[in-house]
Structure 1
Amino acid sequence: MDYVIEAGELRRSYAGGFEAVSGVTFSVARGELFALLGTNGAGKTSTVELLEGLARPSGGSVRVLGHDPYRERAAVRPRIGVMLQEGGFPSDLTVAETMRMWAGCTSGARPTGEVLELVGLGGRARVRVKQLSGGERRRLDLGLALLGRPEVLFLDEPTTGLDAEGRRDTWELVRELREGGTTVLLTTHYLEEAESLADRLAIMHQGRIVVSGTPAEVTASRPSRIRCVLPEGITAARVPLTLKAAAEGQRIEIRTHELQHALGELLRWAEESGVRLERLDARSASLEEAFLEIAQAAEMAGT
């Protein structure tokens, strides 16, 4: 497989001996969208900065498009786009002036008007940066990252500050970029975002990757759940023992890796017993549920 990002036993330490990245290994194939997830302080941004060539690793190796992004920055920088968590633009410049300034420093920059339309800022070209909303600044961040038609795009929390419509528009744009062959590495706190966009993902905790795979593989490792409310006078003790129902008053919850089988057994019991199940809800584990369980387990294990 043609991998354009490769990290092997990657490490990054700060003054005082704190190790933010502790032996991270993963690879990203050409045209793939890879999401890096984790709680605050997990090491996501520290890892991405190494991939972008903004810092030298303390140990291990990293290759982007076949090059060391720190030592061979001149070979890598023109071929990648970077969207940082904060852009730090001159506040008195207009959106168009900011875009033109950045285009002057970008090899093979596409027309600035085209980029502004692409990120939904076509009507805000003459507005000063300091007058933009937080969401509009994130759109400008994204536009600058796309100016050079990057082969590899790094997106660090790209939809922070966007409203629901803006977030969906950004998702659609990212999908179009991936379909056009752009490789994307994404960090996000919005787990729905990762579940919707990512081909594969990794969850970090305290500088290490604790689980990785496709969103379906990660969620499949967690149990599905069935919830309902039993009628008054019917206790959880009457539910078949094989379902291992947990009860809180009249509410019961069943966790299972065989959702169809368990739901069928519960419904057959209810039908045969003449029991009406209220507020019945059955669903597979979401990425959010899987993430929270994995993070909690990692915390308890002290990893």
Structure 2
Amino acid sequence: MVHCSLKKGVCWMNGQAVIVRKPKDTKRRNRQQLRYAVNLCCLYGIAAVSLHLLLSLISSQAAGNYVLFYCLDIFSSIVGSLAPALALAHMGRGIRKYLYTPSRRKTTPFDSFVLVVFGLCGCMVANMLCTILDSYLPDVSNRVYISFAGTFGNFLLMLTASAVVPAICEEIPCRGYLYGMMAPYGHLTSILLSSFIFGMMHSSFNAALFAFICGCIFGCIRKTSNRFWLSVIVHFLNNALSTIGVFIRVNAGSENYVSFLRISSTVALFLFAGSIFLLYRRRVRILHFRKCPFPLRKREKLWVILTTPVFWVFILIAVMVKFL
């Protein structure tokens, strides 16, 4: 005969008292784990924004020498974006553990190619939308931007500083460390939080909005394919097209630049629609988010994030930096 009294924590079995351990508060522990992950992500954002501000002030002093300026820009991407993520990941499992997450579906090479086309064209469509919104989001930053004409070697330096290095040094922290840190709490949560931090790292509100949309696209590619390098490729191609457009504008004039924008925008719209159709026919669900095994509801996860003080400190610092 068994008689249990859970309130007293005692179970009477065959006339003997057996102590019953109370079940652990798993929800509270899960909230603490989520808050800890959000703290680490926001600490990375604070470090990245602060370092970028300091290094951009230093590089702006070299605005007269474009070679030195872009060399300092490369140094800023490595130290400001990559170094804080490597330091925080070193205290945990290491950066390699965050670059890959478990996935049931294996993406074929053709699906990977279509995902790259989808991501690149999606970024171009987002660029068109953000260009329309430029009048509503004025650029309040005083950061110096330099574009220069000249030899092919100068173009390669500009391409390296604007496309190659940022694609690697920004994707490893955002779609690597931040995404891998938040992936156990849901792919949608990890995509939105990593994209938000990625957007706020940029120097103006215009660039922040565009980077947030692109970050969501990169995150969906990372979630769908489980291949970290696909987001790096899409990021590089997007920045490379922007660099080529600036180079055409400087060397070929504004008329050729406008025609280049019209042609590229039209092609991007058709390819974007075609890539979505192909992915749908091949049953590659980009926006399909399976139920997360983490036992917290979406409202509870949102409440934990919004009640984390470091999250608001990061937003305050990121907004203040955009006015400096």
TM > 0.5: no
Higher normalized contact order (CA 8 Å, seq sep 6+, divided by chain length): 2
Larger fraction in strand: 1
Larger fraction in helix: 2
TM-score (norm. length: structure 2): 0.24
